[in-house]
């Protein structure tokens, strides 16, 4: 029995009284015609009126039944139309555990168009955290409706697909129960959840490492203060100080990142001079470059358009990150900043002569906590693996972007920061 049959059966329930009503009406009309011929006298007028009243009442009942039938017929059609178009799978399993209906999404999801009439176990196999398990459906046959727990997947012809959904136990006229299974592909959410879990464990790890270093250093100083000597004590204190600084940077980056992700980062968009802003950043970072015996050049001459639309404070943070990365990952040579206009955008490129980034790591660069290269020994520990992620998101909030233009291991990298021209 298919879903159509179920609708048909219900229609029959309405059709029968309608047909009986029509038959009764025909009989009454014939009877009336007969009576009318005989109705010659006044006494019979009353009987005729009674008969006419009965005909009217039957006709009214009949008309109401027919309009009910029409309404039900069209609502069945609507329901069927809606279910077939639903963006989630719907499967109806009867009390004999055979599939009697599946909508188009369900068929496409299972990659199977031959499910009707088959035992449901042949077409719908569910897994719970990797273990084959149709318990939910079986329990629904004994009356327990339920929502799929986390880790539910359905095995399709192309493998196990994470799903969310529910099973509904349905009471039907025949003895026993039918079951409706509703499901939806949850791959995107499952991946997102996995990524979030990985992120949290990574975050905890990133925070624990510097805290452990600080704790051990302080513990050592407390135990051996009298024997260590001034130089060693200073060395340990410096290390604790650098690690604490790193911890503060990490926490600040987390807070910044969560503000971006919650959509709470204040962005004050206005026109500003990109050349002037780059000059400021270059001036701030020149001492660091000089200390590392690197050059830091900014070439802004001949630039026709220099006004961009963005948040100058946030743009300065992005530029600082890109230029300090260039210095951090360069041993010989230096960093050059240039600008060019293209398609209503100002492209600011930061090119270094440093370590470069291997091809296989390039696509991971803008993910959280990615650290693919060997940063040079830092006077202050500042590597968090969040800088590029934050820079890209910030630039995108200003309708620009940050991306890697090119990179060659051993030769250097070119990063690009774009903003709309004013
Ligand atoms: P951080 O520098 O704090 O580690 P970023 O997100 O700024 O974090 O950078 C992520 C990773 O990308 C770095 O760890 C490094 O491996 C690589 N990287 C970034 N900029 C450069 C660069 N100019 N040259 C080589 N590698 C780079």
Centroid of ligand 1 to alpha carbon of 188 (angstroms): 28
Q: Determine the Cα angle at 174 with ends 172 and 176, to 5°.
A: 75
Centroid of ligand 1 to alpha carbon of 246 (angstroms): 16
> What pLDDT does 73 receive?
65
> What pLDDT does 174 receive?
65
The residue nearest atom 11 of ligand 1, judged by CA position, is 371
Q: Is the pLDDT assigned to residue 185 strictly greater than 60?
A: yes
- The rounded mean pLDDT for the chain is 83
Centroid of ligand 1 to alpha carbon of 51 (angstroms): 97
Question: Using CA atoms, how far apart are residues 328 and 19, in angstroms rounded to an integer?
Answer: 89
Centroid of ligand 1 to alpha carbon of 56 (angstroms): 89
Centroid of ligand 1 to alpha carbon of 385 (angstroms): 7
- The string of pLDDT tens digits covering residues 319-375 is 999 999 999 999 999 999 999 999 999 999 999 999 899 888 888 889 887 766 554
Q: Are 78 and 62 in contact (CB under 8 A)?
A: no
Dig out the tokens for 36 from the structure: 């009318």
- The string of pLDDT tens digits covering residues 254-287 is 899 889 988 888 899 999 999 999 999 999 999 9
State CA 46 to chain mean position distance.
Answer: 76
Q: Is the pLDDT assigned to residue 378 strictly greater than 50?
A: no
Centroid of ligand 1 to alpha carbon of 373 (angstroms): 7
pTM of the model: 0.60
Q: Are 163 and 183 in contact (CB under 8 A)?
A: yes
Which of 224 and 23 is assigned the larger pLDDT?
224
Report strand pairing: 159-171 vs 146-147. antiparallel
The residue nearest atom 19 of ligand 1, judged by CA position, is 325
Residue 195 banded pLDDT, cuts 50, 70, 90:
confident
Q: What is the mean pLDDT of residues 33-62?
A: 64
Report strand pairing: 125-128 vs 152-156. antiparallel
Atom of ligand 1 nearest to the CA of 374: 16
Q: DSSP letter at 375? A: P
E strands of 353-410, at which residues?
401-408
The separation between the first and the last C-alpha atoms of the chain, rounded to the nearest angstrom, is: 67
Q: Are 296 and 282 in contact (CB under 8 A)?
A: yes
The least confident of 82-91, 99-108, 339-348, 411-420 is 82-91
> What pLDDT does 132 receive?
84
Atom of ligand 1 nearest to the CA of 354: 24
Ligand 1 binding pocket, CB closer than 6 Å? 321, 325-326, 329, 352, 354-355, 357, 365, 370-373, 383-389, 413
Query: Which of 388, 390, 405, 414 for a ligand 1 pocket mutation test, highest count of atoms within 8 Å of Cβ?
Result: 388
Atom of ligand 1 nearest to the CA of 326: 23
Q: Are 394 and 317 in contact (CB under 8 A)?
A: yes
Atom of ligand 1 nearest to the CA of 383: 3
Q: DSSP letter at 147? A: E
Q: Tokens 């660069």 map to which residue?
A: 365
The dihedral over CA atoms of 68, 73, 78, 79, expressed in degrees to the nearest 10, equals: 90
E strands of 293-332, at which residues?
295-299, 307-310
Rg (CA), the chain: 38
Q: Is the pLDDT assigned to residue 2 strictly greater than 60?
A: no
- The string of pLDDT tens digits covering residues 223-246 is 998 898 899 999 999 999 999 998
Percentage of the residues of the chain whose pLDDT score is greater than 70: 81
Dig out the tokens for 385 from the structure: 């693996």
The string of DSSP letters for 127-139 reads EETTEE--HHHHH
Report strand pairing: 334-342 vs 295-299. parallel
> What pLDDT does 50 receive?
73
The residue nearest atom 2 of ligand 1, judged by CA position, is 383
Question: Using CA atoms, how far apart are residues 360 and 364, in angstroms rounded to an integer?
Answer: 8
Query: Which of 382, 385, 393 for a ligand 1 pocket mutation test, highest count of atoms within 8 Å of Cβ?
Result: 385
Dig out the tokens for 79 from the structure: 């329901």
The residue nearest atom 3 of ligand 1, judged by CA position, is 383
Atom of ligand 1 nearest to the CA of 415: 23
Q: What is the mean pLDDT of residues 83-96?
A: 87
- Coil, strand or helix: which one is 374? coil
Question: Using CA atoms, how far apart are residues 376 and 322, in angstroms rounded to an integer?
Answer: 15
The residue nearest atom 8 of ligand 1, judged by CA position, is 385
Which residues have CB under 8 Å from 293's CB, separation 6+?
Answer: none
Atom of ligand 1 nearest to the CA of 356: 25
Q: Exposed (0-12), middle (13-18) or buried (19+): which is 179, by Cβ within 10 Å?
A: buried
Atom of ligand 1 nearest to the CA of 385: 8
Centroid of ligand 1 to alpha carbon of 372 (angstroms): 7
The residue nearest atom 25 of ligand 1, judged by CA position, is 356
Centroid of ligand 1 to alpha carbon of 402 (angstroms): 13
Atom of ligand 1 nearest to the CA of 371: 14
Nearest to 115 by CA among 181, 170, 171, 189: 181
Question: Using CA atoms, how far apart are residues 328 and 306, in angstroms rounded to an integer?
Answer: 27
């Amino acid at each position: 029995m298919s879903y159509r049959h179920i609708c048909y059966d219900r229609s029959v329930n309405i059709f029968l009284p309608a047909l009986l009503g029509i038959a009764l009406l025909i009989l009454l009309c014939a009877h009336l015609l007969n009576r009318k011929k005989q109705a010659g006298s006044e006494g019979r007028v009353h009987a005729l009126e009674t008969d006419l009243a009965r005909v009217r009442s039957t006709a009214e009942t009949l008309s109401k039944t027919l309009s009910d039938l029409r309404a039900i017929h069209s609502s069945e059609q609507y329901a069927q139309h809606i279910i077939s178009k639903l963006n989630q799978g719907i499967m109806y399993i009867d009390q004999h555990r055979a599939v009697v209906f599946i909508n188009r999404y369900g068929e496409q999801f299972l990659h199977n168009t031959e499910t009707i009439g088959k035992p449901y176990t042949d077409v719908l196999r569910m897994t719970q955290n990797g273990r084959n398990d149709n318990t939910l459906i079986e329990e629904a046959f004994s009356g327990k409706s339920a929502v799929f727990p986390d880790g539910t997947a359905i095995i399709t012809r192309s493998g196990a697909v994470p799903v969310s959904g529910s099973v509904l136990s349905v009471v039907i006229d025949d003895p026993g129960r039918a079951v409706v299974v509703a499901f939806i592909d949850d791959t995107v959410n499952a991946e997102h959840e996995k990524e979030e879990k990985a992120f949290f464990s990574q975050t905890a790890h990133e925070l624990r490492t510097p805290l452990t270093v600080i704790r051990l250093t302080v513990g050592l100083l407390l135990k051996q203060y009298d024997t260590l000597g001034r130089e060693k004590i200073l060395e340990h204190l410096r290390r604790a100080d650098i690690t604490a600084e790193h911890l503060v940077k990490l926490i600040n980056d987390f807070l910044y990142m969560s503000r971006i992700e919650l959509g709470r980062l204040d962005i004050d968009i206005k026109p500003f001079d990109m050349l002037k802003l780059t000059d400021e950043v270059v001036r701030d970072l020149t001492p660091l470059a000089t200390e590392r015996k690197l050059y830091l050049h900014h070439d802004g001459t001949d630039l026709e358009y220099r006004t961009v639309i963005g948040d100058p404070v946030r743009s300065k943070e992005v530029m600082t990150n890109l230029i300090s990365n260039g210095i951090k990952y360069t041993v010989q040579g230096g960093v050059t900043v240039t600008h060019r206009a293209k398609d209503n955008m100002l492209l600011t490129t930061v090119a270094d002569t440093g370590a470069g980034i291997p091809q296989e790591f390039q696509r991971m660069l803008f993910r959280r906590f990615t650290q693919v290269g060997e940063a040079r020994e830092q006077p202050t520990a500042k590597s968090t693996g969040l800088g590029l992620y934050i820079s890209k998101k910030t630039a995108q909030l200003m309708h620009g972007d940050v991306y890697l233009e090119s990179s060659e291991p051993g030769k250097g990298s070119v990063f690009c920061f774009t903003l709309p021209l004013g």
